[in-house]
């Protein structure tokens, strides 16, 4: 019992610091989501532009339940809040684990936060301005004078959010590969030897993330193949475990 008590006492400072970090993350999400909600209508209209451009038969969306519009705006605001707060969340995570790292590892952690944010942003940008317009153009090509599309407001925003998040998170593949190599779990040679298995996994993951749409699957899988090869190169370049300094 005394051993448990001593362990709890030793963990108490870490528990308090973790609590403070989580509170800061929560406040950052709250503030950023609140600001996003103020401009939620403008943001929603911005997301609707690719849909309206994809079909001359469509100039408005519909909602079929009373709270649907409100809930859709809240979900959209939360999504924007998460994206905007992403670098700050990573920074708070780094500040929590930094005391246990060596000086060179602390510097590397700053690089990790930068590249993780950049990759996520690149994936989201590519989804929003590269993939989404092509997907919508294909889907809306079935519309005609005898077949009128009536997309629901909430489901459309969910579709956009899912696509953007899927690409943003998927673009983290090189980052995760380098982290695995840096931690000493695997080497670049492992990723080379298992390339075909990972390619199959990428296609399967892309299929799930895009809800079974074959065009979206291809648009997601092809850049992921390139990112996987990039991850192999970066793992070989930066994934060497630094030897611990001798006392």
- pLDDT tens string, the chain, 247 residues long: the values are 554 445 445 545 667 778 888 899 999 999 999 999 999 999 999 999 989 888 877 888 988 888 889 999 999 999 899 888 888 887 787 777 666 556 665 666 677 778 888 888 888 898 888 888 888 888 888 877 778 788 899 989 988 888 888 888 888 888 778 777 776 777 888 888 888 998 998 888 778 766 666 777 787 788 888 888 888 888 887 655 444 444 4
Domain assignment present for 75: yes
- How many domains in the chain? 1
State residue 210's pLDDT score. 66
State residue 34's pLDDT score. 95
Exposed e or buried b per residue across 34-64, where buried means at least 16 C-beta atoms within 10 angstroms of its C-beta: eebbeebeebbeebbebbbebbeebeebeee
CA–CA separation, 8 and 16 (whole Å) = 12
Do the Cβ atoms of 182 and 231 come closer than 8 Å? no
CA–CA separation, 148 and 157 (whole Å) = 19
Would you state the structure tokens that stand for residue 35, as one six-digit string? 């600001």
State residue 41's pLDDT score. 92
Domain assignment present for 71: yes
Domain assignment present for 176: no
Q: Which domain holds residue 37?
A: 2-171
Do the Cβ atoms of 54 and 132 come closer than 8 Å? no
Domain assignment present for 240: no
DSSP string, 175-222: HHHHHHHHTTS--HHHHHHTHHHHHHHHHHHHHHHTTT-HHHHHHHHH
State residue 101's pLDDT score. 57
CA–CA separation, 109 and 115 (whole Å) = 10
State residue 36's pLDDT score. 93
State residue 13's pLDDT score. 60
Domain assignment present for 211: no
Do the Cβ atoms of 185 and 211 come closer than 8 Å? no
Tell me the whole-structure pTM to 2 decimals: 0.73
Please, how many CA atoms are within 13 Å of residue 187, restricted to the half-sphere of its CB? 4
State residue 219's pLDDT score. 78
Do the Cβ atoms of 170 and 226 come closer than 8 Å? no
CA–CA separation, 124 and 168 (whole Å) = 5
State residue 74's pLDDT score. 93
State residue 244's pLDDT score. 46
CA–CA separation, 190 and 14 (whole Å) = 36
Domain assignment present for 177: no
């Amino acid at each position: 019992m005394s051993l448990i008590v001593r362990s709890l006492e030793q963990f108490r400072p870490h528990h308090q610091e973790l609590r403070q970090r989580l509170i800061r993350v929560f406040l950052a999400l709250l503030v950023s989501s609140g600001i996003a909600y103020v401009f939620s209508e403008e943001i929603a209209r911005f997301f609707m532009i690719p849909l309206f451009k994809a079909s001359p038969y469509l100039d408005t969306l519909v909602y079929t339940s009373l709270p649907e519009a409100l809930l859709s705006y809240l979900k959209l605001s939360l999504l924007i809040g998460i994206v905007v707060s992403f670098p700050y969340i990573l920074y708070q995570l780094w500040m929590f684990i930094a005391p246990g790292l060596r000086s060179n590892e602390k510097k590397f952690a700053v690089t990790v936060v930068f590249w993780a944010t950049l990759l996520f942003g690149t994936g989201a940008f590519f989804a929003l301005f590269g993939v989404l317009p092509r997907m919508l153009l294909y889907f809306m090509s079935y519309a005609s004078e005898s077949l009128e599309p009536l997309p629901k407001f909430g489901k459309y925003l969910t579709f956009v959010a899912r696509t953007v998040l899927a690409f943003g998170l998927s673009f983290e593949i090189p980052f995760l590969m380098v982290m695995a190599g840096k931690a000493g779990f695997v080497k670049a040679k492992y990723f080379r030897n298992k390339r075909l298995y990972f390619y199959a996994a990428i296609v399967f993951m892309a299929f799930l993330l895009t809800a079974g749409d074959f065009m979206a699957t291809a648009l997601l899988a092809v850049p992921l193949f390139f990112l996987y090869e990039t991850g192999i190169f970066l793992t070989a370049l930066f994934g060497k475990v630094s030897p611990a300094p001798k006392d």
